[in-house]
Structure 1
Amino acid sequence: MLNLIKINHAFHRMAETIVRLRWINILLFFLITGFCVSGMKHIQFDTSWDNWFLENDPMKIADDEFKAIFGNNEYVAVLVEVDDVFAPEVLTLIRQLGAELKARVPFSDDLLSITDGEFTEGTQGGLTISDLVPDPVPQSREVLETIRAKALSRELFVNRIVSDDSRQTWILLRMKTYPDKWRNADNIGPDIAAGTVASKIIAQAKYASLNPRGAGLPVLAFDKTAFFKKETARNMGLSLIATIIVLALAIRTLTGVVLPMLIAASSIVITFGIQGYLGVKIDPSMILVPIYLGLAVAIGYAIHLFGFFNRHMAETGKRKPAVFFAVSECGWPLLFTALTTIGALLSFHFVPVRPIRWSGSTASALVGITFLLTLVLIPSVLSFGKDRKPKKGKAHAHTTALLNGLSSKVLARPTAMAIAFMSIFILCSAGLHRFEVSFDIIKSFGLKIPYVEKIFHVANSKVGSLYSYDLTVTFPEAGDAKAPANLDTFAELIREAEGYELTKRVTSLIPIIKDMNRSLHSGDDAFHTIPENRQMVAQLLLLYENAGGAEAEKWVDYDYQRLRMQIEMGDYNSAKAKRELESLKAHAQSLFPDATIGMAGSIAKFTFMQTIVSRGQLISFAIALGVVTLLMMLVFGSIKIGLIAMIPNIAPAMAIGGLMGWGDIPLDMMTITIMPMLLGLAVDDTIHFINHCRLEFQRTGNYATSIRRTFNTIGVAICMTSVIITANFSVYTTSVAKVYVHLGLLTGIGILTALAADLFVTPVLLLKVKPFGKETATDSQFESHAA
């Protein structure tokens, strides 16, 4: 069993050394921080979904194979909404907009629109393929009405390129395969670079009459990055202001406000600066958890240290002895909390996803650096200054008196506390059965975000869509894709996909073949079918190729061994999408038992990634909880203490899980990160409480007295830490983005739940279980001695 009194003496000696070398400590701090500031200039952001997968991940391998054959399946799209698409001035602007997009957008490939798309017609010699709208755009109303009639007669055009009421049209710019590791002069990846240029083109005043709305993943990546860059800066600014205000009210000294913020900022600079030098790529969507955790930990560590320093300074007026006392009392619990938090965060490495592993490593590094800076920099700075006269009044005397009264009430009514806790536990457990593991853009982000409202407007149009994914069928032999039986079965698979709830439409080779067959037979609808023999299919495809057709190349490979379909979605919920993708793939395998079925596209990857991350984080949380419990058992040498420590650490997860269930908040890649973050924060106060309670028990030999002294000694610090962190996150509830509202609400409730568990549940468990051994004194006996 650890002798905490001896450990505190060791930290006392360490504090003396730190103060003796204070000038060196401060100089090294500024040198290291300055060096790392320069490293932050080299930070690289990567928003590609490829960055989420490990190199040997089956999904990444399948997607790479797809791109090698069919190229990039991403596109930039524009929804045009006018009174009449076939007005000459509208068609002229559409052609101009399409041409400008193709000329200026990086990695642009081919363009598909009402003015730039293949229109197939039969002739005596076979087939002719030309643009539906001649160049220049005809001005004759009669000619334009003929063009309208042609467009609305073809399945390939109606509610795909132009709406059936001629009020909407869709401009589609396909993208070339992005080069590996490509960055532009602004250190931006290819998708955002393409989305940036496209958005600027679409927003030009000359196209305003088209009422254009950009879509496609490159535009979405640009819009999302721009919005969250601005919103994150706003929220972090408000968060810092709230933190400074509450810190000032809590510690009431300029040093007490500046030092914690300086340590938090410098820890972030050092960690990210080193990563900049090492060339580590960072996904901006995962950067929040390490930063928020680092800020919260820095504040928590500083408050505990300042609490003991201010207390001893008020009692004795001696500055350096107050520094030594603070480090001796806080050093060991701070070290232990840092180790347990790091151990919990390293459990992220059990999730086979790069950014999640990065998040765990980065947060662990932040905690470690924050601990070192807290233990070295704060004592070094606090040691400067003159001694003061002791103060008779005690800082936070009113709060301390309230906590003393609270400790007496908790100890007097342990059964009532246990019943209340179990009642809340049961209520939260019921809520856990109600929440779903999914990403739903409406529930997770909300329509108050401009770009979310835009993409849903596009998705609800007749020609636009929200997202898309691809399915491929690879046959055993080259040429099998020409077999009518395979084409008919593929058409059956398309009908299956079209029946899914999330599907908007499906694009493939099938309608192209049917359209060619009908065109070859003078537009007779009876021939809008797949030919009955292989030779006829081969002849159609040869005539199509000789006529200059190129669209079919997007849907069948050169050897006619692979068929591709693209499923566009009008809505998205990752849980539903996963069921539909798995169902479609299973159905395809049953229809083509000898073929290889593949899924590709960013949304397919995201859908399966959502499941991997959510499950992985839950497993990671369980492992982290086990690590914390095991460390408690090993360090305190008691299984009982380890099990007792689990209760306040499980309580926040149960509380937010129940709230998410009752509040219909989905468990997605954003909200799932709150649980491990809360564990990292909650364990700190639990360790401080149990450690100080055990220290007091070694001094007094009585549980009730030890618990009262613990409330009196660190109760204020624990409450302050929780209030400051809650205030820090509460500002996020003012955001228009639901993801930030959820972050602020759930984190605040989780922190307050952890505090309640530490103050109301942990004391009862310690009193009833008696994990530190037998009592050697009675409560009344000690009180009489104290008197």
Structure 2
Amino acid sequence: MSTIRIRSSVPRRTMRWQTGFIFSSERTCSMDARVAVMASITTIPRFGSRQNTASKEQSMLNISRINAVFHSYGVAIIRYRWVVFIAFFALAFAAAAGLPRLKTDVDQDKWFMEDDALLAAKDRMEHLFGNEDFCAALITVDDVFESENLRLLRQLGDELLDRVPYADDVLSLTDMEFTEGVSGGIRIADLVPENIPEDKGQLEAIRRKALSRKSLKGRLVSGDSTETWLILRLKNVPESVKQINGEESIMAIGHLFNEIVSQPQYTSLHPQATGLPVISAEKLDFFNKETPRLLGISLVFTTLILFFFLRSLRGVVFPLATVFCVMTMVFGLQGYLGIQTDPTVIFMPIFITLAVSIGYSIHLFNHFNDEFRKTGRRKESLVIAVEEVGWPLIFSALTTVAALLSFLLIPLRPIRWVGLTSASLVFLACLVVLTLLPALLSFGKDRECPSGEITVRETRMQRFMAWLADISLKRQGLYLFMLAVGIGACLVGVSRIEVSFDVLRSFGRKIPYVDRIYEVGQSQVGSLYSYNLALEFDAPGAAKDPENLKKFEMLVRDVDKLELTKKTTSLLQILKDLNQVMHEGDPEWYRLPESREMVAQLLLLYENAGGAEVERWIDYDYQRLKLQVEMGHYNSGEAARELKWIQQEAGRLFPDAHVVLTGAISQYTVMQEYVSYGQIRSFFIALVIVTILMMIVFGSIRIGIISMIPNVAPALVVGAIMGFADIPLDLVTVTIIPMLLGLAVDDTIHFINHSQLEFERCGKYVESNRRTFFAVGGALLMTTVVLTLSFSAYMASVVKIFVSMGFLVGAGLFSALAADFFITPVLLFKTKPFGKERMD
């Protein structure tokens, strides 16, 4: 421990100086005493102070002049602090009125841009065949064909059809077209008569009928009669209908379906609801509860962090006030503008704002506290604090904004929303910290400056930083070797990353609705996901041509063999059923008719008998065919391969037809492609933009390139962890790497900027490195801890991908800090970008 004792006549107290020493003193000092104390101690000039040397004046970017601007800015803020306070209060109050209008949207169609080809194809198919979305319930009982179970099944279907908005029809054992042969033609009737029999013999006859049809067994009812599948098909909701019962139409449908099937009278059926509207509604309900819970945990962490580091009530209340001010302004404005987004991504901007705002506040508080302890003059200390941190914070915010705006290159609405919203919040947070926070801190009394016998001693943090400074340049070759090995290992992990939008893999089965839809998918007749294939022929009538139907049958047979396919539904089942019925129910005739005339005759008989199911699978002009493929489980890579194969095989069999794929899995596959290429493109563009900014600011191409080498570390480390730990790249994790680039570059800016300034003062790379660690090392470590702990609130969630994110962000930030502490000094020492060392 180094100690200096100076006599003075002031009350005893302790204060921290920019040099990193602590001074204790006794009795009040005069200005002369202060000057004497400062003259007696060799101090390291502060970043941006007026003690800069001539060499600094010759640098391409004159930090001294920039700081002079921020000095004037700080003076203006203090002078007009009431105006600042009132202005921000008025803006926040006005914006707060827009918060109740802020809405979330879980409709998958809203993920895509308005001009996306997939949405256009889906709209065209829904215009022809009806709404592709449906609600469904898996019924599990001892025997589906018991009289009471059939009665409840019919009652449930009737209630759903009567109460659910835009319900079209119900498909179940008690509500379906059952075709039978009669003299001179066919008859379409109910499988289960209107008056459900009690007699066991009659019920057995119904069972035999159902299980004799290949189109029903294993599809609508299980072979052991313990499961049956109820589907509520929906009409197209007009675009003019914005809300139903005060909420989005898809939400209202999902909520009401759940409400009905969950009624006590249907408990014996053990219904398990699924379908896109149901999942969307439950997803919204879950995240509406999960978001406040995680936000509350994060606020607790943030409060404790602030109190631990700043040891001040102001240091807790004022930074949190700036956070709420920033979020209120941005989210309130979005409420006024009617901007909506998926609730799974709304966490990201909130936690970025918390972390960045607190980090920026700590920088300002540290400089203010240092000055206030030395001078005891509140307003002057705030001006100096704004002068010293203004430019680094503004430039850090700009680089973070540049990285976040790279999300706009991914053509998915939620990810673009994250990028634009986060960028707005970060930049506004910087402005609020540099404007509102000094204004708030300026209210208060000055302190009497200490003097007397002053003891100067190093703190534990300074001793730790001194030790790091020493070892950072001792084993340069080892550090570079470890960097090379680490990069190689990380690249292996990165190559194993898989893009996936599987709700089971991303969210996990600890979420009740996710666990339920997984069980439905594993059942005998239920499904997890579905997608649709449509064939559009050039000429009307081509869809019922026997040759085209045979080729279509070949395609469907091959689709049935795919790993993920559970069952398929199309016109083929109806035609084969009709053909079998016309041949006295002989199972040998469950096949397609041989001639075009026979196809036309069967369809005419079916239409005359009142059949309507066929309209869902072939259009009025007989020009388009539709196939629905249901899946019991999901693998993103396999799904992408299967859809690609279907597209190619359909194109080979029908070279003159237009092949269209729609539905949830098609959407997931397209999103995977967008994310895969968009992630790579956005990261490299962000990297290039930030590198160019660094070159401009530091006035050197070499420094700009060196400054970015450590900032690739978080991308590699996070990518490697995701690859080795089998964490998918999805709608949430795709935002991590560009975000980390923006956050990690902040540390590099502070470290290299101060290294350059210290080199200009001392002319020695080793000494400038030591001074840099002493001056900013502790703050960099502190902000990294703050950011990591803020994001660690994610780990309290039951959502798998949020837990992974809490860990990944911390790993990325600490890898960036390690690179700044052990790689950046080595690169600066070896490349000597600031010029040759001075001999003096």
* Shared fold, TM over 0.5: yes
Q: Distance in 1 between matches of 2:625 and 2:404?
A: 44
- Tell me by how many angstroms 1:482 deviates: 1.4
- Tell me by how many angstroms 1:187 deviates: 5.0
Q: 1:419 to 1:522 in 2, by over 3 A?
A: same
Paired residue type of 2:750? H
- The aligned residue for residue 294 of structure 1 is 353
Q: Equivalent of 2:324, from 258, 261, 265?
A: 265
Q: Distance in 2 between matches of 1:770 and 1:280?
A: 50
- Tell me by how many angstroms 1:396 deviates: 9.3
* Aligned-pair Cα RMSD in Å: 1.7
Matched, 1:581 2:643: yes
- Tell me by how many angstroms 1:188 deviates: 2.6
- Tell me by how many angstroms 1:613 deviates: 2.1
- The answer as to whether partners of 1:506 and 1:565 remain within 8 angstroms in 2 is yes
- The aligned residue for residue 784 of structure 1 is none
Q: Distance in 2 between matches of 1:727 and 1:452?
A: 28
User: How is 1:123-142 mapped onto 2 (pairs within 5 angstroms)?
Assistant: 123-142=182-201
- The answer as to whether partners of 1:441 and 1:573 remain within 8 angstroms in 2 is no
> Alignment partner of 1:463: what SS?
coil
- The answer as to whether partners of 2:402 and 2:686 remain within 8 angstroms in 1 is yes
User: How is 1:327-476 mapped onto 2 (pairs within 5 angstroms)?
Assistant: 327-390=386-449, 397-476=459-538
- The answer as to whether partners of 1:5 and 1:695 remain within 8 angstroms in 2 is no
Matched, 1:500 2:559: no
- The answer as to whether partners of 2:707 and 2:748 remain within 8 angstroms in 1 is yes
Q: Equivalent of 1:595, from 654, 657, 662?
A: 657
- Tell me by how many angstroms 1:777 deviates: 5.3
Q: Distance in 2 between matches of 1:676 and 1:165?
A: 53
Q: Distance in 2 between matches of 1:753 and 1:187?
A: 47
Determine what percentage of the aligned residue pairs are the same residue: 50
Matched, 1:775 2:837: yes
Paired residue type of 1:383? S
Q: Distance in 1 between matches of 2:832 and 2:379?
A: 37
Q: Distance in 1 between matches of 2:558 and 2:100?
A: 51
Matched, 1:250 2:312: no
- Note the alpha carbon deviations across 1:460-512, whole angstroms, 9 max, x for none: 11110001010001112111111111111111110111111111110000011
Q: Equivalent of 2:225, from 166, 171, 181?
A: 166
- The aligned residue for residue 19 of structure 2 is none
Q: 1:615 to 1:187 in 2, by over 3 A?
A: farther
Q: Equivalent of 2:771, from 692, 705, 709?
A: 709
- The aligned residue for residue 785 of structure 1 is none
- Tell me by how many angstroms 1:390 deviates: 4.5
- Note the alpha carbon deviations across 1:387-435, whole angstroms, 9 max, x for none: 2244667899221221122112213332232233333222222222222
Paired residue type of 1:632? M
Q: Distance in 2 between matches of 1:186 and 1:359?
A: 29
- The aligned residue for residue 595 of structure 2 is 533
- The aligned residue for residue 204 of structure 1 is 263
- Note the alpha carbon deviations across 1:641-665, whole angstroms, 9 max, x for none: 1111212211011111111111121
Q: 1:197 to 1:60 in 2, by over 3 A?
A: same
Structure 1: gaps of 5 or more residues: 779-787
Matched, 1:49 2:111: no
Q: Distance in 2 between matches of 1:58 and 1:74?
A: 19
Matched, 1:34 2:96: no
Q: Equivalent of 2:574, from 504, 509, 512?
A: 512
- The aligned residue for residue 70 of structure 1 is 129
- The answer as to whether partners of 1:445 and 1:452 remain within 8 angstroms in 2 is yes
- Tell me by how many angstroms 1:597 deviates: 0.7
Matched, 1:275 2:330: no
- Tell me by how many angstroms 1:765 deviates: 1.5
Q: 1:611 to 1:733 in 2, by over 3 A?
A: same
Paired residue type of 1:84? D
Paired residue type of 1:721? T
- The aligned residue for residue 221 of structure 1 is 280
Q: 1:37 to 1:388 in 2, by over 3 A?
A: same
Structure 2: gaps of 5 or more residues: 1-59
> Alignment partner of 2:568: what SS?
strand
Q: Distance in 1 between matches of 2:344 and 2:457?
A: 41
- Note the alpha carbon deviations across 1:322-351, whole angstroms, 9 max, x for none: 112211111111111111111222222222
> Alignment partner of 2:591: what SS?
coil
- The aligned residue for residue 169 of structure 2 is 110
- Note the alpha carbon deviations across 1:603-651, whole angstroms, 9 max, x for none: 3112211221232122101100110001001121111111112122110
**Which has the greater radius of gyration?**
2
Q: Distance in 2 between matches of 1:434 and 1:202?
A: 42
- The aligned residue for residue 699 of structure 1 is 761
- The answer as to whether partners of 1:304 and 1:714 remain within 8 angstroms in 2 is no
> Alignment partner of 2:189: what SS?
strand
Paired residue type of 1:584? I
Q: Distance in 2 between matches of 1:752 and 1:394?
A: 31
- Tell me by how many angstroms 1:71 deviates: 1.4
Matched, 1:656 2:718: yes
Q: 1:181 to 1:292 in 2, by over 3 A?
A: farther
Paired residue type of 1:507? T
- The aligned residue for residue 783 of structure 1 is none
Tell which deviates more after alignment, 373-382 or 660-669: 660-669
Q: Distance in 1 between matches of 2:304 and 2:459?
A: 20
- The answer as to whether partners of 2:415 and 2:735 remain within 8 angstroms in 1 is no
- The aligned residue for residue 739 of structure 2 is 677
- The answer as to whether partners of 1:555 and 1:564 remain within 8 angstroms in 2 is yes
- The answer as to whether partners of 2:287 and 2:343 remain within 8 angstroms in 1 is no
Paired residue type of 2:613? E
Q: 1:669 to 1:330 in 2, by over 3 A?
A: same
- Note the alpha carbon deviations across 1:68-127, whole angstroms, 9 max, x for none: 111111110000000000111111111111111111112211110010011000001201
Q: Distance in 1 between matches of 2:301 and 2:232?
A: 46
- The aligned residue for residue 57 of structure 2 is none
- Note the alpha carbon deviations across 1:575-616, whole angstroms, 9 max, x for none: 221111111011011001111111111331122112212321
TM-score (norm. length: structure 1): 0.96
> Alignment partner of 2:473: what SS?
helix
- The aligned residue for residue 631 of structure 1 is 693
Q: Distance in 1 between matches of 2:282 and 2:81?
A: 48
- The answer as to whether partners of 1:311 and 1:394 remain within 8 angstroms in 2 is no
- The aligned residue for residue 367 of structure 2 is 308
Q: 1:395 to 1:212 in 2, by over 3 A?
A: farther
Q: Distance in 2 between matches of 1:488 and 1:393?
A: 95
Matched, 1:148 2:207: yes
- Note the alpha carbon deviations across 1:1-27, whole angstroms, 9 max, x for none: 111122222211211111111111011
- The aligned residue for residue 22 of structure 1 is 81
- The answer as to whether partners of 2:137 and 2:229 remain within 8 angstroms in 1 is yes
Q: 1:378 to 1:182 in 2, by over 3 A?
A: same
> Alignment partner of 1:152: what SS?
helix
Q: Distance in 2 between matches of 1:100 and 1:614?
A: 44
> Alignment partner of 1:265: what SS?
helix
- Note the alpha carbon deviations across 1:36-92, whole angstroms, 9 max, x for none: 000122223222222222232221211111111111111100000000001111111
Paired residue type of 1:154? R
Paired residue type of 1:729? F
Q: Distance in 1 between matches of 2:765 and 2:829?
A: 6
- The answer as to whether partners of 1:47 and 1:189 remain within 8 angstroms in 2 is no
> Alignment partner of 1:412: what SS?
coil
- The aligned residue for residue 782 of structure 1 is none
Paired residue type of 1:423? V
> Alignment partner of 2:527: what SS?
coil
- The answer as to whether partners of 1:296 and 1:681 remain within 8 angstroms in 2 is no
Q: Equivalent of 1:571, from 627, 633, 639?
A: 633
